[in-house]
Amino acid sequence: MKQSKIIAITGSIASGKSQVTNFLKQLYYKVIDSDIISRDIINEREVIEKIKSYFGENLYSEGVLDRSALASIIFNDREKRDLLDSITHPLIYKRISEKIQEYKREKIVFVDIPLLIENGTKSYGMNFDEIWLVYADKETQIRRLMSRDDISYDYANLKISSQMSMEEKKKYADIILDNRGDLDELKDKVLKALNRLNK
């Protein structure tokens, strides 16, 4: 049996990555969402105990993590962010691999990984056939984030500036889906990328 093509989809905050993955799902492609896997893992007993041990008991209420409290702890602390990653990432990668195996009959499988490039493409323990980057310039990201989260320009700018720049990410991408336009334009670009893959 021919092996599935594994395509990583990445982007940055408010770049429109979810628009791409939602469209792919509408087209009946399998999309593995690393954020959903992460949310599941972070409420498993083994992970709960480690997070309580390193970050404090008060982060959990009735077994459910206060994600915003944890985010505020790691936001400007690289060491703590790396510590959290060391707890969760091996389990996330394992689940992604299991899902890929589950979908092995599919011609193409997409894996949605927001921080793929920041973490290093090889750190996921798998080889991606292609990396698709959903791109938007910084001002577009800021405008969208302000609207989506009802936050100030300065706070939106701070959140975006804390991530690797889109211009840097472009260097690692095989396909760049420019999402500075409207949704129909983005869908056309996705269809063109799919047609090339399916040849």
Beta bridge partners of 111: 8, 32
Query: Region 41-58: what's the mean pLDDT?
Result: 89
**Domains of the chain (ranges, CATH numbers):** 1-29+108-199 (3.40.50.300), 37-105 (3.40.50.300)
How many whole angstroms separate alpha carbon 113 and alpha carbon 55?
A: 24
Contacts 24+ apart (CB under 8 A), 193-197: 193/132, 194/27, 194/108, 197/5, 197/7, 197/108, 197/130
* Residue 11 annotated as part of some ligand binding site: no
**Tens digit of each residue's pLDDT (9 = 90 or more) over 113-132:** 998 998 876 666 678 999 99
* Residue 68 annotated as part of some ligand binding site: no
**Tens digit of each residue's pLDDT (9 = 90 or more) over 66-116:** 888 888 888 778 899 889 988 998 899 999 999 999 999 999 999 999 989
* Residue 193 annotated as part of some ligand binding site: no
User: 183 to each of 16, 45, 93, 144, 177, how far by Cα in Å?
Assistant: 9, 40, 31, 13, 12
CA-nearest of 129, 147, 128, 131 to 139 is: 147
Counting residues of the chain whose pLDDT is more than 90, the rounded percentage is 69
* Residue 19 annotated as part of some ligand binding site: yes
pLDDT at 182: 94
pLDDT at 118: 86
How many whole angstroms separate alpha carbon 106 and alpha carbon 97?
A: 14
Which stretch of 17-26, 44-53, 146-155 has the lowest confidence by average pLDDT? Answer: 44-53
pLDDT at 1: 54
pLDDT at 20: 98
pLDDT at 163: 87
State the DSSP H helix or E strand holding residue 93, giving kind and residue range, or none if neither: helix 78-102
* Residue 101 annotated as part of some ligand binding site: no
pLDDT at 56: 87
How many whole angstroms separate alpha carbon 98 and alpha carbon 188?
A: 31
Phi, psi at residue 195, to the nearest 5°? -60, -40
Chain mean pLDDT for the chain: 91
User: 87 to each of 54, 73, 79, 122, how far by Cα in Å?
Assistant: 10, 15, 13, 18
* Residue 17 annotated as part of some ligand binding site: yes
